[in-house]
Amino acid sequence: MRSILGIDIGGSGIKGGIVDVEIGKMISERIRVETPPDGDPIEISRLIHKMFDDFSWKGPVGVGFPAVILDGEAITAANISEDWIGLNVNGLLSKGSDCRVFTVNDADAAGMAEMDFGAGKNLKHGVVMMITLGTGIGSAIFIDGTLVPNTELGHLIIDGKDAEKWTSAYAKERLNLSWKKWSNRLQVYFDYLESLFSPNLFIVGGGVSKDAEKFIPRLHTRADIIPATFQNQAGIIGAALFAASKEKN
């Protein structure tokens, strides 16, 4: 068994757990704290360090982060403070601890978990798209099993609207949309994705995936569309898998 701490930073919550990366399974209870309303780097860093302490953790840590991440640096910021842009997230979150942090785009992390151990583990040919529905919309694309990183397709402009502001799970909650009305919005989004990428499979994750039976049967796509195996734990598991891959290098 090889264990690594995985942390998933989202617009509304920060979630963490210890993962056995050899089998892709959480082996601790999940800890969740609220993301600070302004998503401030110093405040989030404090909460991450407290999570290290709560797990009594020393060692490698994988962090899924809602941004384009290049070599540990945040290039964008979605649903968190723009003060993150240009910061070395790995360095900030590692500083003053006994942990070495490896940061990856949050949806890419979730996709890694699903491709290695979840809904996409047997599909290594063609195009697989992981779409996470939460405070925003995250995306991960795999071509013949290989990740195309940092796609951030939640920010596609469709009919003049930023897709995630119109179609995210947060939009459903904020506008009090019925499952039917929200599914109609999702249909427009998935139709657009199909027109661009012609995937073989859609995997739908994020917190709302626990209610997959309420909206996925309403969607009609040429590609198969299925819920994520790990639901809202995918980001934690995938972040740990990412750290494990970086530790080998």
Q: What is the CATH number of the domain that holds 242?
A: 3.30.420.40
pLDDT (tens digit per residue) in 68-93 = 999 999 999 988 999 999 999 999 99
Tokens 């757990």 map to which residue?
Answer: 17
Give the mean pLDDT of 135-152: 96
238 and 220 within one domain = no
Which contacts qualify for 52-59: CB closer than 8 Å, 24 or more apart? 52/5, 52/97, 52/98, 52/99, 55/5, 55/16, 55/18, 55/28, 55/31, 57/5, 57/18, 57/99, 58/97, 58/98, 58/99, 59/4, 59/5, 59/98, 59/99, 59/100
90 and 120 within one domain = no
What pLDDT score was predicted for residue 122? 82
Cβ(229)–Cβ(119) below 8 Å? yes
- Average pLDDT over the chain reads 95
73 and 172 within one domain = no
Domain residues for the domain of 199 are 109-230
Percentage of residues in the chain with pLDDT exceeding 70? 99
226 and 113 within one domain = yes
What pLDDT score was predicted for residue 249? 62
**pLDDT tier at 179, thresholds 50, 70, 90:** very high
122 and 98 within one domain = no
Residue 110 phi/psi, 5° resolution? -60, -40
113 and 93 within one domain = no
200 and 123 within one domain = yes
Give the mean pLDDT of 94-120: 96
